[in-house]
Every structure is written in structure tokens, then in C-alpha cells.
Amino acid sequence: MPLVDTAAPFVVRDLALAEAGRHQLRLAENEMPGLMALREEFGPTQPLKGARIAGSLHMTVQTAVLIETLVALGAQVRWASCNIFSTQDEAAAAVAVGPTGTVDAPAGVPVFAWKGETLEEYWACTERIFDWSGEAAAAGADFTGPNMILDDGGDATLLVHKGREFELAGTVPAAEDGDPEEWRVILGVLSRSLDASPDRWQRTAADIQGVTEETTTGVHRLYELARAGELLFPAINVNDSVTKSKFDNKYGIRHSLPDGINRATDVLMGGKVAFVAGYGDVGKGAAEALRGQGARVIVSEVDPINALQAAMDGYQVAKIESVIDQIDILISGTGNKDVVTVDHLLGLKHLAVVGNVGHFDNEIDMAGLEAVPGAEKIEIKPQVHEWRLPTGRSILVLSEGRLMNLGNATGHPSFVMSNSFTNQVLAQIELYAFRDRYATDVHVLPKHLDEKVARLHLDALGVELTTLTPEQAAYIGVEVDGPYKPDHYRY
């Protein structure tokens, strides 16, 4: 696609995909009871009326349900994806057309996202979610940008902070040798912006009441900003809600890891030796799924506490090199780099399946594999490659070492995302409607809201909750309606 047309009201791959997208949205809505319950509860009172939300989060079917929930609660929304590959084009089209619009007369949300953006396109899209001139003109108002950010990974937040910083400095620094390509692109965007307006990001930042952040990386950046005293507005760390981190990572992977292996390889997992590197939440879900399929699972860990948990859960715990020649399925889920080295890859059994559910593609040393003299890469089908190795053996690498549960399957299922996104919506309401409660710092959602998120997902599963009697509540020192646990409770 060309660079984003700054006049276009939205930019998606193909509006004709909207109908297919709408079907998927309808099915997803049934699996996202938390979001649908919020529409019912808050639709009438419109707590997000007046909110202008700039959203930067994977433009998937599930995110489409999130977006339309925000709109149902009164918000105006502009949206970009937070990853160049993660957009589902039919979901983007459906959101642009909107539930009441048509392909000829789209009446949805301004969305700027398609699968396979270049870095330039990506940051141009991100910039567009901050350009509310059309909305301002339509409202006869004089705002420049959003008054809320909904972020995943912190790119939208970064743009505001850096934009304002460079405006105050009066200049955008030149990229230096060794700066990552992406940083050059960002500097380019901000430099053009500074040429066009000396105070656009200052005005934007001043209007923003808060950001709600979805994921670890973004949260990490926010804490750094707060520590440095540079955070410009209050933030809610959605990632560390129990109903996010203890559900998304564990139960999401448990679902999508075996799905990815099946779709990619059609290889039986039962009876095989599966190796899972890392026994955090992702590793726990991966190991459970593989054991559930009858595989014998071996785990590796560097943290003795997680290692002991794995042992107590009945898994062999070993270094990868100690068992490499037994492994049929090798899964890495640590968030670390070089967990699977070229030596490991060379030591695997013939046609062992290798997949990453942890983080970047450096979790498995793909660069090293490509550099192995004589190694030959054969595409079996997209995202599934046989690597013929000089050892005479082959291995099957999924999604080129990138997240295979996304590349070979469809990633987190709607029900899991409903938990995460219900946290997002509640966090948006908190920061927008109760802004006085939150100082300019990084907060987690109060526990009663975390519990509310869980509550909204019980009926769909046929769960019947017990209610405390007042005497029981007093006896254990809580209110009948919660919160039920101290903050340090680990679940």
C-alpha cells in the first residue's frame, strides 16, 4: 500500500472484506461476554461520552469487538495496529464500515491498519490516530488530538512523549550510526511534524487524560517514564490485572499452541517427547496443553522457583542440551534470546518440530541457522519450513521462528481476549470518568474491577458463584461483594 493518505477518513486493505469480517465479529461477540455485558451495563449512561480515544493495538477480530464496545459507551475512536503484521484485514474493513454502514457508505471508525505494513506506513498510521482535525471541525471545537490513549506496547505513548520533548528542545535530533531502523522512521515522522507545527504534541499531550496499556513491554516503558519523572499523564497497567496476566498468557497459549502444531504439521503429539523452555505463565499453559495431548513433557528453567513448580507438577526439568537428542517437539516460551541455539537445532531428531511462543524471533537463533553452511530451507507451505541440515537430518521450523501460535494458528481466542479487553474498557472508564482519582503515575486496576472482569465471564461458562453470608464475610474480614483478597495474593 502507499504511504497513508492524510486526507482519507480511514485506510484499510479492502472494504469488500467487511461482510466476512462482520460474520467473524458476530461469532466473536458470543465468545466475549465481558465486553457485551459492559455494553449492556454502560450503554445507557455513556460513561465514555466525550472521550476521544487513540487506539494502538493489533487490529484483529477481537479488537474490533473492543472498538465497537468503546463506541457503544459513548467514545469517539481512531485506531491503528501496534504491529505491522497483526492486522486481520477483514476485521479492519468491518470496523471501517461499521455495524450500520455499508461498503458504499461506510459509517464506522477511522481505522488505519492492514496486514504487512512497512515501518514507514506503520508510523504514518500511528500518527493518523493523533490527528483529530476532522472530528474537531465536525464538532466546531478546537482540539487537536485525542484525550485518551489505549496502547499495546507503548508506541502511541512514545510518539506523544518524544514529540513534545523535541518540540521543547526546538529540534529533532538526527539519527546516529547504529540506531535501529525504526528509530530513524520515528525521527522522520516527528521532524516533519515539527516543521508543520511547533507545538502540536504539546497541545496533544496537554489534552490527554490518561493511557491504558495492554502489555509487559509497554508497562515497562511506562514505569521507566514514571521513575524518570517524565510521565505526562496517568497510566493504568492493564497487563498486571490477574484476569489479564494469569489468564491471557496461560490459557491463551494452552489453546493456540497445539492448534498451531496441528495446523502446521498434522503430526501426532501423543507419545512424543516435547520440550518447553520456560515455565512462566506461557510455559505452564504450553506444558499443560502438550501433556493433555499425551506428550511426555520436559521443561527447562533458569529460575529455581519455577523449576521447582515444574517438578512438583510432575515434569522432568532438564537443560536443553542434556536431552536434545530425544526431543520431537521443541517449544520456546521464555521471552529471552538465544534460548535455542544452532547447536541445539543441529542436535535435534530428524524432522523435529521447532516453534516459538515466547517473544521475538531471536528466542530461537534463526540468524545462526540461516548462516549454517549447506543448510537448505524448503517451504512446505507458508509458515512451515523444512531445514535440511548438514547433519543429514531435517527440522521443521514454524513461522520462521516468530510466534507460531499467531503465525500457524489464530493466536489468542476471543474468550481469553474478552478478559483482557474488559480490563481495558474498565480502565478507560476509570481514567476518563474518574480522572481525579489517579495521579500522574502508573496504576493497576483496583481489585474490585479485576474481580468484576472475572464475574462478567462466569455466566457464559455456566459457573454458579457462591455468595458469602454477612457473618462469613465478617469472619474472613472482607465485604460480601469483595474485594476478596489482599493485594499480594498470588492466585
- List residues forming the annotated binding site for substrate: 60, 152, 214, 244, 248
Q: Report angle CA 41, 52, 20 to the nearest 5 degrees.
A: 70
Binding region for a copy of itself (CB under 8 A) out of 16-24, 53-61, 143-151, 453-461: 453-461
Tally Cβ neighbours within 10 Å of residue 462: 6
Residue 481 within binding range of ligand NAD, rule CB under 6 A: no
**Interacting residue with ligand NAD among 260, 333, 347, 413 (CB under 6 A):** 333
Site string for a copy of itself, 384-423 (x = CB under 8 A): -----------------------------------x----
Binding region for a copy of itself (CB under 8 A) out of 23-31, 118-126, 268-276, 308-316: 308-316
Residue 287 CA, chain-centre distance (Å), reads 22
Residue 465 within binding range of a copy of itself, rule CB under 8 A: yes
CA distance 311 to 364: 24
Site string for ligand NAD, 178-217 (x = CB under 6 A): --------------------------------------x-
Residue 226 within binding range of a copy of itself, rule CB under 8 A: no
Closest separation in Å from C-beta 340 to ligand NAD: 9
Binding region for ligand NAD (CB under 6 A) out of 13-21, 218-226, 403-411, 434-442: 403-411
400 binds, among ligand NAD, a copy of itself, none (CB under 5 to 8 A by kind): none
* SS3 call for 462: coil
**Interacting residue with ligand NAD among 46, 191, 336, 341 (CB under 6 A):** 336
DSSP string, 246-296: IIIIHHHHHHHHHHHHHHHH----TTSEEEEE--SHHHHHHHHHHHHTT-E
Residue 206 within binding range of a copy of itself, rule CB under 8 A: no
Residue type, 432: Y
CA end-to-end distance (rounded Å), the chain: 46
Residue 196 within binding range of a copy of itself, rule CB under 8 A: no
* SS3 call for 212: strand
CA distance 224 to 231: 9
CA distance 19 to 91: 9
Edge-to-edge, what's the strand order for the sheet holding 273-277?
A: 316-317, 296-300, 273-277, 329-332, 352-356, 394-398, 384-388, 376-381
**Interacting residue with ligand NAD among 261, 330, 357, 364 (CB under 6 A):** 357
Site string for a copy of itself, 338-377 (x = CB under 8 A): xx--------------------------------------
DSSP 364: B
CA distance 359 to 278: 12
**Interacting residue with a copy of itself among 309, 356, 405, 428 (CB under 8 A):** 309
Ramachandran assignment for 297, one of left (phi > 0), alpha (psi -120 to 50 degrees), beta (any other): beta
Residue 178 within binding range of a copy of itself, rule CB under 8 A: no
Residue 228 within binding range of a copy of itself, rule CB under 8 A: no
Binding region for ligand NAD (CB under 6 A) out of 103-111, 266-274, 331-339, 426-434: 331-339
Binding-site residues from annotation for NAD(+): 215-217, 249, 278-285, 301, 306, 336, 405, 412
CA distance 226 to 432: 20
Ramachandran assignment for 401, one of left (phi > 0), alpha (psi -120 to 50 degrees), beta (any other): left
DSSP 5: P
What Rg value do the Cα atoms of the chain yield, rounded?
24
Residue 240 within binding range of a copy of itself, rule CB under 8 A: yes
Decide: 285 and 252 in contact? Cβ < 8 Å: yes
Closest separation in Å from C-beta 455 to a copy of itself: 4
Closest separation in Å from C-beta 215 to a copy of itself: 15
CA distance 342 to 18: 44
471 binds, among ligand NAD, a copy of itself, none (CB under 5 to 8 A by kind): a copy of itself
Decide: 414 and 254 in contact? Cβ < 8 Å: no
475 binds, among ligand NAD, a copy of itself, none (CB under 5 to 8 A by kind): a copy of itself
**Interacting residue with ligand NAD among 125, 129, 159, 277 (CB under 6 A):** 277
CA distance 186 to 310: 42
Helix (H) or strand (E) holding 151: strand 148-151
Site string for a copy of itself, 242-281 (x = CB under 8 A): xx-xxx---x-------------------------x----
Tally Cβ neighbours within 10 Å of residue 366: 21
**Interacting residue with a copy of itself among 155, 301, 328, 430 (CB under 8 A):** 301
* SS3 call for 15: helix
Residues that bind a copy of itself (CB under 8 A): 240, 242-243, 245-247, 251, 277, 300-312, 316-320, 322, 335-339, 419, 450-452, 454-455, 457-458, 461-469, 471-472, 475-476, 482, 484-485, 488, 490-491
Q: Which residues bind ligand NAD (CB under 6 A)?
A: 216, 249, 252-253, 277-283, 300-303, 306, 333-336, 339, 357-359, 403, 405, 411-412, 466, 468, 472, 484
